[in-house]
Amino acid sequence: KLRHPLFHKRRKTLLHLLLATTPFSTTTTTTSALNIAILTGTTRTAGPPRPILGPRISNHISTSLTNRGHEITTLGPLVLQQLPLLNKPHFAYAPSQVPSQLADLHTILTQADAYVVITPEYNHAPSPALLNLLNHFGSSVFGYKPSAIVSYSAGQWGGVRAAHSLRPILSELGCLPVSAMIHIPNAAQTFDEDGKVLNEKEERRWNGYMERCWNQLEWWGEACQKQKLVRDPYVGSPVLKKDPKERNAPSSS
């Protein structure tokens, strides 16, 4: 198992399984636990402005999925802070020359069965830090796995425009996003710092709202796991070896 101080691992325990039968989750756990990587779209650890919303959202999402029996790895603000602006993606390095940080991230992302991508909204677009992380890797890492999009904002729109902008990006990477998305408006008034719903009367409604997205993610995650045992997806659709022109349409010139 990969160990790294910047990567927060939440493991399935008996307590987590018991919690899956409490009001926090409206269904039982799935028949197949998934290894899910949560990609948080923020580098912020201090204000202003305050409060810092990203950790509240990622904590809630992590707890929700852990309670459903999954193993969660969260790539949080410190990971995004220390990742340099894209100069050279992982696949452009010779195997012996890959920087250690990129190598660790590559291992985590490759081993994941599914992804939950969380983003705030910056000028109607996804987080630049999140895009920087995604652009360091190609479809050979993300391909043939499902993803779910979660967006949030301090105001009333819940980051919906950023969420829709993520759909073509994740599709191009091969981790097709499920149709149900999660949008969280007024995040500071919805979750506390630990990711718990502030209004207990609303907790069941939030669980039900997220349930549709998680069910879709689990269905596709399990389906992809099983199908890969039957057929290697890269046999008929190999990754790029040398040049993007390998996928060009035939040309008479």
pLDDT digits (tens, 9 = 90+) for 133-162: 999 999 999 999 999 999 999 999 999 999
253 pLDDT band, cuts 50/70/90, is low
Residue 17 confidence (pLDDT):
34
Q: Are 151 and 178 in contact (CB under 8 A)?
A: no
Is 7 a residue whose pLDDT tops 70?
Answer: no
Q: Are 57 and 195 in contact (CB under 8 A)?
A: yes
Burial (0-12, 13-18, 19+ Cβ within 10 Å), 140? middle
Mean per-residue pLDDT for 126-130? 96
pTM recorded for the entire structure: 0.85
Mean per-residue pLDDT for 208-222? 97
Q: What angle do CA 150, 153, 155 make, to 5 degrees?
A: 145
Residue 248 confidence (pLDDT):
81
Is 243 a residue whose pLDDT tops 80?
Answer: no
Strand-by-strand arrangement of the 7-10 sheet? 7-10, 71-75, 35-40, 114-119, 147-152, 182-184
Residue 137 confidence (pLDDT):
96
Mean per-residue pLDDT for 157-181? 97
